[in-house]
Amino acid sequence: MRILLMRKHARSNPRNFMMGLLLLCLISACAPAAAGTPENPSALDTHGPGAAQISGLWWLMLGIGVVIFAAVVVLLVMALLRKRRSTVYTPAERDSDTGRSWVIWGGIIMPLGVLAILFVFTLHTLAAITDPVDTPLSVQVVGRQWWWEVNYQQQGIATANELHIPVGVPVQLSLESGDVNHSFWVPQLHGKMDLIPGRTNTLTIKADDPGVYRGECAEFCGLQHAHMGFVVVAESQADFDQWVVGQQKPATAPTDDAVQRGEQVFLSAGCSFCHTVRGLDDSSVDVGKVDLGPDLTHLESRLMIAGATLTNNVGNLAGWVVGAQHIKPGSLMPNINLPADDLQALLAYLESLH
């Protein structure tokens, strides 16, 4: 008997342990989900009015879901604990319609009520996040496999994978696609909006707080869909204006020997067939038509490279230039086979593009 008890005890212990572990995993998985990190932004950690409206709706749906789930569990427990009826039914029991009323109330009337409530709140949210008509700033965003072309046409700025917006100002985005369907999503600022070839969709985003918010392509668009990220930098109006002025300038002609050599490598290695550097004179390329790769005029001012896959530093830049196909297989950027000296010069040149 004692042995039996001990065995039973020993067997139940690991099970409790596993359950505890599972619970711990669930809790630890949920806790950061609500807070989010810069690398893994959460749609519940909102910094813009659009995202705030949507997360409000999300919490409402979660609340209703929890109440219904709890009610179902209570009913289930009650049914399990209920004394078993005798197998012989009295005529009164057989004719009673208790079962039917459960189906009518629980299966038809209650779901209709819940859906009606959610419908009203959803309409309310949709109305609240509708784009305002007049915005002081509009930006064209073109989705490409697998990066984001960003054009501030009024300001004459072209950049990539990085949107700068002034805090508190609604910014209208004209979303277009250069190839296949993509979807623009900055979870902390607003909901998703598709980019569809041959069509221009608009989305107005606004950031309430300064910060760097990560965005992702949210519509499967091919091999490197998961590496098609970008960042939205929300900054004060003064910082934004300063950024605009800096971006409007063309690249300055290199004075340093190494940088000058790097410029020659940039031209001879064929970089300029896909990448524009405004201010760099290349007679072999029609500058206005180069859009295969990001504009590199102010590459060094950007936080990330390769569709927000890598932080922008010389180590990552070197690995990207000579081994892009290993980092993002299938992207248009080829591995550039350069002699080591040329690579150093090219890196010096790229680093000079402030």
Partner 1 sequence: MKLRVLWIALIGFGFSLTACAAGVNGGPEAQTVPQGNVEQGRTLIVHYGCGSCHTIPGIMGADAKVGPPLDDFYERTYIAGLLPNTWQNLSKWIQDPQGVLPHNAMPDLGVSEADARDIVAYLYHQPGLFDFLRR
| Cβ 232 to partner 1 shortest distance, Å | 23
| Cβ 310 to partner 1 shortest distance, Å | 6
Q: Which of 22, 34, 43 is closest to 189 using CA atoms?
A: 43
Q: Which residues bind partner 1 (CB under 8 A)?
A: 310-311, 313-320, 322-323, 326-327, 340-341, 343-344, 347
DSSP helix/strand/coil, 345: helix
* 147-152 β-sheet, strand order: 157-160, 147-152, 137-144, 171-177, 201-205
- For residues 207 and 189, the answer to whether their CB atoms sit within 8 Å is yes
| Cβ 253 to partner 1 shortest distance, Å | 23
| Cβ 239 to partner 1 shortest distance, Å | 25
| Cβ 60 to partner 1 shortest distance, Å | 36
Residue among 28 and 96 whose Cβ is closer to partner 1: 28
Q: Are strands 229-235 and 211-217 parallel, antiparallel or unpaired?
A: antiparallel
Residue among 217 and 348 whose Cβ is closer to partner 1: 348
Show contacts of 237-245: CB within 8 Å, 24+ apart: 237/166, 237/167, 237/169, 240/164, 240/165, 240/166, 243/164, 243/301, 244/152, 244/155, 244/157, 244/164
* C-alpha–C-alpha distance, residues 347 and 1, integer Å: 77
188: left (phi over 0), alpha (psi -120 to 50) or beta: alpha
Q: Are strands 229-235 and 304-305 parallel, antiparallel or unpaired?
A: unpaired
Residue among 221 and 317 whose Cβ is closer to partner 1: 317
Residue among 77 and 314 whose Cβ is closer to partner 1: 314
| Cβ 258 to partner 1 shortest distance, Å | 11
Residue among 164 and 214 whose Cβ is closer to partner 1: 214
Residue among 38 and 323 whose Cβ is closer to partner 1: 323
